[in-house]
Amino acid sequence: MFDHSNRIILTGRISGPPVYDHEVLGEAFFKMYVAAKRLSGTEDVLPVTVSERLLGENEYDEGAPVSVSGQIRSYNQRAEDGSHLILTVFARCLLTPEDGEDVNEAELIGRIVKPVVYRMTPFSREIADMLVAVRRRYGKSDYLPAIAWGRNARFAGTLTPGELVALKGRMQSRQYQKTLPDGSTVERTAYEISCASIERPGY
């Protein structure tokens, strides 16, 4: 039985049209960015990796509506200041949505990789950070950071490395300041799964 799962549906507007990224076994892959609004009005601008086969002859111009279904993938990218965990939405299907409603729904089942970090913010909000490994069918795994708040954070704090966990929520983008070894700072974008629900599968 394959007990891991990785699904995302993302509907929004193209904020960065497809640009060639890499090639695998003669198949070209492109990266584009899709912006989807939260209920609060804040936009998550997310990277999407898409095969030339899915793009076909279609034009994906900036501002055009698009709906993507696929998986959240991770890979390590080396840089001068170390290795970075990079997340992307790997497209399995591209469609033009029938209505203008933004959608950002992710569902994952995977295993906790390391101890969950549970803490209180300066404003007394409970928060928990997790790293979840979701296996693919052919031996690889995607390592996906996730964040939970409130009672979900309390529950996450009871999870231990190796436990299977089911998450539902959205993939979000977040800006932060990174301090480099020379003392200078640079603005970076982090991607993570913001959890609306967490449970142990089968409970």
Domain edges within the chain: 5-103, 107-199
The domain 107-199: what is its CATH number?
Answer: 2.40.50.140
As a whole number of angstroms, the distance between CA 82 and CA 156 comes to 29
Domains 5-103 and 107-199 share a fold: yes
What 26-33 contacts at long range (C-beta under 8 Å, 24+ apart), as own/partner pairs, is 27/51, 27/52, 27/53, 28/52, 30/55, 31/88, 32/60
How many Å apart are CA 146 and CA 60, to the nearest integer? 30
At 54, give phi and psi (nearest 5°): -75, -35
Whole-prediction pTM: 0.90
Fold of 5-103: OB fold (Dihydrolipoamide Acetyltransferase, E2P) (2.40.50)
Print pLDDT tens along the chain (203 aa).
447 899 999 999 999 889 999 999 999 999 999 999 998 889 999 999 999 999 987 888 899 999 999 999 999 877 666 677 899 999 999 998 887 799 999 999 999 999 999 999 888 999 999 999 999 877 899 999 999 999 999 999 999 999 999 999 999 998 888 777 788 888 888 899 999 999 998 75
